[in-house]
């Protein structure tokens, strides 16, 4: 059996557990199948370069990964590799 480790504040972890308990009979996303998890960033990535607490590092990660420029770059890369693989874009 594989183990998956989650990081977050006490509140975030509590919310995750509530979600799992509230949806125990429903199909939750399968972390390894529905999400790309090979390139996850952790508080240790921040702490390896900066003197800070876990909470400060988690806050930095959140800000960095939800930054508009970061999000735009990810969408750019998704579009680039989709086009490189000859996928057609959906029309809405």
More confident residue, 51 or 12: 51
CB under 8 Å to 65, separation ≥6 — which residues?
41
Write out the two tokens for 34: 């529905």
3-state helix, strand, coil in the chain (%, to 5): 55, 0, 45
First to last CA, the chain: 41
In this predicted structure, the answer to whether residue 68 has a pLDDT above a threshold of 80 is: yes
Q: Where are the domains of the chain?
A: 10-84
Portion of the chain with pLDDT greater than 90, in percent: 40
- pTM comes to 0.56
Q: For residues 2-30, give the mean pLDDT.
A: 68
Q: Under a CB-based contact definition with an 8 Å cutoff, are residues 52 and 24 in contact?
A: no
């Amino acid at each position: 059996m594989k183990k998956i480790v989650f990081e977050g504040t006490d509140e975030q972890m509590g919310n995750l557990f509530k979600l799992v308990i509230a949806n125990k009979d429903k199909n939750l996303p399968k972390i390894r199948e529905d999400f790309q998890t090979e390139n996850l960033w952790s508080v240790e990535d921040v702490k390896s370069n900066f003197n800070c607490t876990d909470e400060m590092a988690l806050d930095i990660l959140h800000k960095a990964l939800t930054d508009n420029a970061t999000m735009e770059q990810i969408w750019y890369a998704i579009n680039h590799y989709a086009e490189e693989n000859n996928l057609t874009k959906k029309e809405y």
